[in-house]
Amino acid sequence: MKKLIAGIALFGTFALASAQTITFDKTTFDYGTIKPSSDGTRFFTVTNTGDKPLIISNVKPSCGCTTPEFSQDPIMPGKSAKIKVGYNTALTGGFNKMIEVFSNDPANSRSVIYIKGNVDANAPEPKVLTPAEQKEAAKAEKKAAKLAKKTAAK
């Protein structure tokens, strides 16, 4: 009888320890100061650092000026997906918007990410990146995602 109880307790421990875990490359995206009607699209990278498929069921912005897009396809363990967030840059002035991300992560079924910035007609023109700079930026983003994954695994 003692072995049966110990076996059930051990199985319960493993059942709780294995799950899907949502991790973000960043929880706040700062647009900085941008010109009106400039590109308001940004991306958050979501990584499943658990050992079961992660499903994002809903992404809700705090207002109609923010439009998120996401896939409900399962994110397999160790894999990543993107949440596309658009902000209406026709609205001038500072902004700080909250976006709720709902998933099947048992510990974080509701996560919150933010976008912030300032839309100003006097903002400097955005710098156009050369192909080499674009490649370097993509490399840095991959490195940051790997670091976030490694940090979440600890």
Write out pLDDT tens, residues 97-146.
999 999 999 999 999 999 999 999 987 776 666 777 778 777 777 776 67
What is the pTM assigned to this prediction?
0.73
In a domain, 5, yes or no: no
Looking at residue 9, its pLDDT comes to: 47
In a domain, 86, yes or no: yes
Give the range of the structural domain holding residue 49, as residue numbers without chain letter: 22-124
In a domain, 9, yes or no: no
Write out pLDDT tens, residues 62-110.
999 999 999 999 999 999 999 999 999 999 999 999 999 999 999 999 9
Max Cα–Cα distance, the chain, nearest Å: 76
Residues 61 and 68: beta-carbon distance below 8 Å: yes
Question: Based on the structure, what is the number of domains in the chain?
Answer: 1
In a domain, 152, yes or no: no
In a domain, 35, yes or no: yes
In a domain, 60, yes or no: yes
In a domain, 61, yes or no: yes
Residues 74 and 46: beta-carbon distance below 8 Å: no
In a domain, 14, yes or no: no
Alpha helices in the chain (DSSP H): 2-17, 131-153
